[in-house]
Copies of this chain bind each other. A is one copy, B any other.
Amino acid sequence: MNDFQLDWQRSRRTGVPEAVLCEYKSPTQVAAIIVAASEKGERLLFTRLDESHFLALDFAIRSALDYDPLSRTAVLGGSMPVASTGVGIVAAGTSDMSVAREAARALCFNGHDAPIVADVGVAGLWRLTERLDEIRMFRVVIAVAGMEGALFSVLAGLIAAPLIAVPTSVGYGVAAGGYVALNAALASCSPGVVVVNIDNGFGAAAAAVKMLSMR
């Protein structure tokens, strides 16, 4: 009897395919899932796969994966055609790039090419306003910020597209763990901000895919 039972129909049912969260799985468990998916010829996305965890997999299994250490994501089954579909990612700081890239890689896995507008935190407001025309072209915006998360409110007050806030665990002292950015997004005075879990770039990508697929 297996430890796992993949939900292959999820994509048809919900519009986004299942992904494998690796953090709490043993290398043995991750490898078994990769083997099963390979045998079925299915593409599969892996998230929160730390480099040490990745290196604990057999060489043959590692070879089957397209792995990116900064975002801790891996793709099994190769790339598919990607097109620019209107989703863009806006990241407050350099430290937020790993989460921004998790979102970008998950979007790419689903066929969406999403540019990242990086390091536009509000401490230097001109960095954001200078690129506002570019950002206003996006149909859906994923905003990624840690610390106090002021970017979410400022940006949401300037654009009409749906804004998905991804708080990150970047910060120290009261900001450790990402709760300040999370709560800032939830308590935003700019109406219509929607929020996903801390560091959940994948979840933001899934939400964006659903919005772009609305009938």
Contact = CB atoms under 8 A, between A and B. Distances in A.
Interface residues of A, number: 100
Contacts of A209: 192
A162 B31 CA distance: 32
Given A23-B172, A29-B97, A95-B25, A10 B124 contact: yes
A162 B210 CA distance: 5
Contact of A14 (B3, B33, B86, B160): B160
A178 B75 CA distance: 28
Total copies of the chain = 8
A78 interface: no
Contact of A127 (B3, B7, B14): B7
A193 interface: yes
A146 B26 CA distance: 16
Nearest to A129: B125
Given A15-B160, A157-B122, A184-B184, A94 B194 contact: no
A4 interface: yes
Contacts of A119: 2-5
Contacts of A200: 172-173
A143 interface: no
A60 interface: no
Given A148-B187, A184-B150, A211-B162, A118 B157 contact: no
A188 interface: yes
A91 to B, nearest CB: 8
Interface of A: 1-5, 7, 9-10, 13-16, 18-19, 21, 23-26, 29, 33, 48, 70, 86, 92-95, 97, 116, 118-127, 139-140, 146-150, 152-154, 156-164, 169-180, 182-200, 202-203, 206-207, 209-211, 213-215
The 7 closest A-B pairs by CB, nearest first: A173-B198, A7-B124, A192-B206, A194-B194, A24-B95, A175-B187, A191-B206
